[in-house]
Chains A and B, each alone.
Chain A
Amino acid sequence: MFKILKHAILGPQVKQLVFEAPAVARKRKPGQFVILRINESGERFPLTIADADPKAGTITIIFQEVGKSTFQLGTLKAGDAVLDIVGPLGKPTEIEKFGHVICMGGGVGVAEIYPVAMALREAGNEVTAIIGARSKDLVILEEQMRRASHKLWVTTDDGSYGYHGLVTDPLKEILNDTNKKVDRVFCIGPVPMMRAVAEATRPYGIPTIVSLNPIMVDGTGMCGACRVEVGGETKFACVDGPDFDAHQVNFDLLMKRLTIYKDQEKLSWELWKQQHGKCTKKS
């Protein structure tokens, strides 16, 4: 059992949980994830580790409620526990002194880019961060991202806060600024956003790293559910990734594979809503 020590609401349907998971906390590096299972009949699903405190033996998970398992997780409070957490899985993000780096996060992906930005800054990079959300109330971790970067751009699709536009808009401005060299771009967010960023940096030949989020079961290279195509080769995101060269990723395939269980996910979610309608309203 893995106990929840802290529960916080960061935005509409965005929750933060701090778990007691000392073995994971000890080893975790930015870019890694855990597989979590809530209860005996629960599914195994991957969540990126947003932060960890090896001394306290805790890890922080920030997630968006999008389906049954994440909504169910969101109903848990401090003092509750989940049955299983295993990790830290996946290869850590490659952190070194690159020079000027851009760290981009979209939606809940901001929680995942945050530890990467922090580590890059600590490694001596000049960090420009661009975080985006659909609207103002969905912007998360702005203060943390400000601390993790030298310059922060916040974009909203509807213009309700910050820069009116997509994260790729300020990115293009920076790329076009001939006075500003960009050595590497890191991006975590919805697949269309990561694809757009890859296309934006491709003409400039700037190394661009994305963190992929395919469907997983075991998370240790045993099942192959998380197959992605990178540079024409099949890779297992759980052990070969989740970070990959954005310019080599077959995003089309990733999008298609993410829809495999769309109907089942919907059914599961509808059933859960019927049974737990009250809980979701409360939170």
Chain B
Amino acid sequence: MAKKIIPYAVPMPEQDPKERIHNFNEVPLGYSPEMAIAEANRCLQCKKAPCIAGCPVAIDIPAFINLIAQGDFIAAYRKVMEKNVLPAICGRVCPQEDQCQKMCVMGVKNEPIAIGRLERFVADYAMQVGKTEVPQRLRSTGKRVAVIGSGPSGLTVAGDLAKMGHSVTLFEALHATGGVLVYGIPEFRLPKDILKKETEVLAKLGVEIQTDYVIGITEMVDELLDRYQAIFIGTGAGLPYFMNIPGENLNGVYSANEFLTRNNLMRAYLFPQWDTPIKPSRNVAVIGGGNTAMDAVRIAKRLGAENAYLIYRRSRAEMPARDEEIHHAQEEGIIFHLLENPIRIIGDEKGWVKEIELIRMELGEPDESGRRRPIPIKGSEHTLKVDTVIMAIGQGPNPLLLSTTPGLKLNKRGYIQVDPQTGATSKKGVFAGGDIVTGSATVILAMGAGRTAAKAMHEFLK
């Protein structure tokens, strides 16, 4: 009997925008068991399952959804965990609409199955009922592996290699693990408790976690090679870019990295209970159109800004941010200034930001990124009254490790050159993956790169 088609996905309940702009609690509230079963029942259980091919870590999606439909949520959770030990994180921050859900057969004519919401549901359910479990660990191989950076790629490599029986040390420069997940992604998108619980699995797998340890400073890669048989570099793209326009060093101008780090890692929104301050502001301009820009502008709104502007030089169609994030920002009253670009920041006599001067843009022919090139419209300069400006225009590779590791080949853009099949670098025994190879990308792509490298490292260690 052919399955009845239900065209629309079960909506995810969300915090009311009017409420949520006054708190840092999570915005999407998650499915109830009934909602999850209803959504799971929409799945066509395709034999060819193109969704699996759309997942960088190849989760057996139809299988875990089928288990949800049967009401066996813990079995569904275990099925996901076979391929992804961070399901609560991925269910929240993966761009499913560009990956598994994009391939969903149901999505050709109707709304695709809400795979990400279901992944999140099983992970949260397992946490709630206390059934999270540590994956099986194979017999110790006696091999030692160092993983540098505890972001998405590093966490994946550490988890995978520990499961295979290797002895893994995870080095992190900051005081907390998670990399961009802890300093970059705000509480209302990924609660720190969830992150903490999910990364605790690594410690249970026997991964030794060394925070406050900067490879390239506290110890060099070549020194690690004396103690470890293989090394994975997953240090991310953590060097903030500025626009190089006048006024960028005025008080009140932040890199998105600083603004996000103060609020996410250091909890400046809880000042003065927590010690790290952030300056309250009334009119905030965030420059950029990616997820980082959306996170920053939504934080600014929650910190009490009357006007939180998002300034992007192209149009809505070219914005790299996820649709869901743009939609959430719009619901929260973020004011979009599209096709506008800053040309200078104007300060008062005390050195504080007072205004930002913008120029209108129009779109020309596509550039090398495939997106239409923004061209300034002469004579369209105008100013906007702001007291805070946040630059969210991208990041580059941090040179601390790269410049202290002789023999590590970089590409033209300054990222580590690797064999895409294995993640192997030009240095024997040293592998790399994530943003330090690709430049700023997504959490799941970094995890996929980690998975690839872990497999190759396992082979290398044999």
Given contacts A220-B214, A221-B398, A259-B251, contact A86 B266 (CB under 8 A): no
- What are the residues of chain B within 8 A of A257 when measuring CB–CB? 249, 251, 351
A253 to B347, CA, bound (A): 12
CB of B332 within 8 Å of the partner chain? no
Among A218, A260, A267, contact of B279 (Cβ-Cβ < 8 Å): A260
CB of A264 within 8 Å of the partner chain? yes
CB of B240 within 8 Å of the partner chain? yes
A118 to B212, CA, bound (A): 28
Question: What 0/1 pattern do residues 241 to 283 of B give for CB contact below 8 A with A?
Answer: 0100000110110110110011000110011111111110000
Q: Which of B212, B214, B219, B255 has the most CB of A within 10 A?
A: B212
Q: How far is the CB of A86 from chain B (nearest CB, A)?
A: 4
Q: How far is the CB of A264 from chain B (nearest CB, A)?
A: 3
Q: Which of A89, A218, A257, A261 has the most CB of B within 10 A?
A: A218
CB of B238 within 8 Å of the partner chain? yes
A125 to B400, CA, bound (A): 31
CB of A75 within 8 Å of the partner chain? no
Question: What 0/1 pattern do residues 373 to 401 of B give for CB contact below 8 A with A?
Answer: 00000000000000000000000001110
Task: Count residues on chain A whose CB falls below 8 Å from chain B CBs.
Answer: 40
- What are the residues of chain B within 8 A of A222 when measuring CB–CB? 183, 238-240, 257, 261, 398
A227 to B244, CA, bound (A): 13
Q: Do A264 and B279 touch (CB < 8 A)?
A: yes
CB of A137 within 8 Å of the partner chain? no
CB of B134 within 8 Å of the partner chain? no
Q: Do B261 and A234 touch (CB < 8 A)?
A: no
CB of A83 within 8 Å of the partner chain? yes
CB of B456 within 8 Å of the partner chain? no
Q: Do B272 and A23 touch (CB < 8 A)?
A: no
A44 to B174, CA, bound (A): 10
A267 to B275, CA, bound (A): 10
Q: How far is the CB of A159 from chain B (nearest CB, A)?
A: 34
Q: How far is the CB of B115 from chain A (nearest CB, A)?
A: 33
Given contacts A221-B238, A253-B351, contact A83 B271 (CB under 8 A): no
Given contacts A27-B217, A222-B257, contact A37 B175 (CB under 8 A): yes
Among A88, A229, A260, A265, contact of B217 (Cβ-Cβ < 8 Å): A88
CB of A109 within 8 Å of the partner chain? no
A190 to B279, CA, bound (A): 24
Q: Do A41 and B217 touch (CB < 8 A)?
A: no
A86 to B251, CA, bound (A): 27
Query: Main SS of chain A's interface residues?
Result: mixed
A218 to B251, CA, bound (A): 18
Q: Do A234 and B249 touch (CB < 8 A)?
A: yes
A18 to B202, CA, bound (A): 33
CB of A271 within 8 Å of the partner chain? yes
Given contacts A221-B398, A223-B255, A225-B258, contact A84 B275 (CB under 8 A): no
Q: Do A265 and B277 touch (CB < 8 A)?
A: yes
CB of A162 within 8 Å of the partner chain? no
A27 to B214, CA, bound (A): 12
A155 to B239, CA, bound (A): 42
CB of A224 within 8 Å of the partner chain? yes
A261 to B240, CA, bound (A): 21
A218 to B235, CA, bound (A): 14
Among B175, B257, B271, contact of A86 (Cβ-Cβ < 8 Å): B175
Q: Do B258 and A224 touch (CB < 8 A)?
A: yes
Q: Do A41 and B273 touch (CB < 8 A)?
A: yes
Q: Do B272 and A267 touch (CB < 8 A)?
A: yes
Given contacts A220-B173, A221-B400, A234-B249, contact A68 B275 (CB under 8 A): yes
Q: Do B218 and A256 touch (CB < 8 A)?
A: no
- What are the residues of chain A within 8 A of B462 when measuring CB–CB? none
CB of A200 within 8 Å of the partner chain? no
CB of A141 within 8 Å of the partner chain? no
CB of A268 within 8 Å of the partner chain? yes
Given contacts A23-B218, A69-B275, A234-B248, contact A223 B351 (CB under 8 A): no
A223 to B175, CA, bound (A): 15
Question: What 0/1 pattern do residues 45 to 79 of A give for CB contact below 8 A with B?
Answer: 00000000000000000000000110000000000
- What are the residues of chain A within 8 A of B351 when measuring CB–CB? 253, 256-257
The residue of chain B having its C-beta at the shortest distance from the C-beta of A45 within the complex is: B275
Q: Do A224 and B218 touch (CB < 8 A)?
A: no
Given contacts A253-B351, A260-B251, contact A44 B276 (CB under 8 A): yes
| Chain A interfacial positions (CB closer than 8 Å to B) | 23-24, 27, 37, 41-44, 68-69, 83-89, 217-218, 220-225, 227, 229, 234, 239, 253, 256-257, 259-261, 264-265, 267-268, 271
**5 nearest CB pairs, A to B:** A264-B277, A256-B351, A223-B258, A43-B275, A86-B212
Q: A87-B218, A234-B242 are in contact. List 4 more A-B contacts (CB 8 A).
A: A41-B274, A253-B249, A256-B350, A271-B272
17 residue pairs A–B, Cβ–Cβ below 8 Å? A23-B213, A27-B218, A43-B277, A86-B214, A87-B218, A89-B214, A220-B217, A221-B398, A221-B400, A222-B238, A222-B257, A224-B240, A253-B249, A257-B351, A260-B252, A267-B272, A268-B277
